[in-house]
Amino acid sequence: MKWKKWGKSSTPKETEKQSPQKEPDGQKKKRRLKISELFYNNHFVMAFSLVCALILWFVMAMTNTTERPWEVSGVAVDVVLSDAAQQANLKVFEQSDTTATVSVTGNGVIVNRLQSSDLTVEATLTLSAEEIPNGLTEYTLPLEPRKAAGSELTDYQLVDVNPQEVTVLVDQYEEKTFTIESSLQYGRDNQYFYNEPSLSSESVTISGPKSSVDKVSRVVAEYETSDVLTSTRAFTCTLVAYDENGNQVEDQYLEYSIQEVDATVSVLPREECDLSPNGINMPESFPVSRMSVDPASIVIAGPEDALQNLDAIALEPVDFSEVDLDHTTFTRSISLPAGFKNINNAWEAEVTVNLEGYSQKSLTINKQNIVVQNAAAGQSVDVLTENLEIQVVGPQSQVEALTAANVYARLDMSGQANLTGAAELPVTISFTNASGCWAYGKYTVSVQVEKQ
50: number of CA atoms within 13 Å, CB side?
Answer: 6
The confidence score (pLDDT) of residue 435 equals 93
Residue 369, judged by CB atoms within 10 A of its CB (0-12, 13-18, 19+), counts as: middle
Angstrom distance (rounded) from CA 253 to CA 420: 80
Angstrom distance (rounded) from CA 172 to CA 211: 8
The confidence score (pLDDT) of residue 400 equals 95
Residue 341, judged by CB atoms within 10 A of its CB (0-12, 13-18, 19+), counts as: middle
> How many C-beta atoms surround the C-beta of residue 153 within 10 A?
17
The confidence score (pLDDT) of residue 1 equals 35
Q: Pick 270-353's CATH classification: 3.50.50.60, 2.170.120.40, 3.30.450.20, 3.30.70.1400.
A: 2.170.120.40
Tally helices (H) and strands (E) across the chain.
7, 32
Angstrom distance (rounded) from CA 333 to CA 316: 6
Q: Among 354, 337, 251, which residue's Cα sits nearest to residue 301?
A: 337
Look at the alpha carbons of 224, 225, 229, 233 in this order and tell me if their dihedral is positive or negative: negative
| pTM given for the model | 0.62
The confidence score (pLDDT) of residue 4 equals 38
* Residue 393 to residues 23, 287, 364, 397, Cα–Cα distance (Å): 159, 15, 14, 11
Q: Are 384 and 447 in contact (CB under 8 A)?
A: yes
The confidence score (pLDDT) of residue 46 equals 81
Bridge pairing between strands 198-199 and 267-276: unpaired
The confidence score (pLDDT) of residue 32 equals 55
Q: What is the largest CA-CA distance in the chain?
A: 180
Angstrom distance (rounded) from CA 389 to CA 142: 104
Q: List, in order, residues 6 or more apart from 282 with CB less than 8 Å away.
A: 318, 320, 438
Q: Are 137 and 171 in contact (CB under 8 A)?
A: yes
Q: List, in order, residues 6 or more apart from 375 with CB less than 8 Å away.
A: 381, 413
Mean pLDDT by 10 residues, the chain (452 residues): 39 44 48 61 77 69 64 95 91 95 90 93 91 91 94 92 96 96 95 95 97 96 95 96 96 96 96 95 95 97 91 95 97 93 94 98 96 93 95 97 96 93 96 95 96 84
Q: Pick 358-451's CATH classification: 3.30.420.610, 3.30.420.40, 3.40.50.300, 2.170.120.30.
A: 2.170.120.30
Bridge pairing between strands 267-276 and 312-314: parallel
- Coil, helix or strand for 108? helix
Domain boundaries, the chain: 70-163, 173-265, 270-353, 358-451
Write the DSSP assignment of 45-62 as a string of letters. Answer: HHHHHHHHHHHHHHHHHT
Query: To 5 degrees, how large is the angle CA 78–CA 83–CA 84?
Result: 120
What's the one-letter identity of residue 103? S
Query: To 5 degrees, how large is the angle CA 421–CA 426–CA 431?
Result: 130
Q: What count of residues does the chain have? A: 452
Domain pair 173-265 / 358-451, same fold:
yes
The confidence score (pLDDT) of residue 55 equals 73
Second CATH level (architecture) for the domain 70-163: Beta Complex (2.170)
Task: Identify the CATH class of 173-265.
Answer: mainly beta
Q: Among 141, 146, 136, 143, which residue's Cα sits nearest to residue 125?
A: 141
Q: Are 360 and 393 in contact (CB under 8 A)?
A: yes
Rg (CA), the chain: 53
The confidence score (pLDDT) of residue 387 equals 95
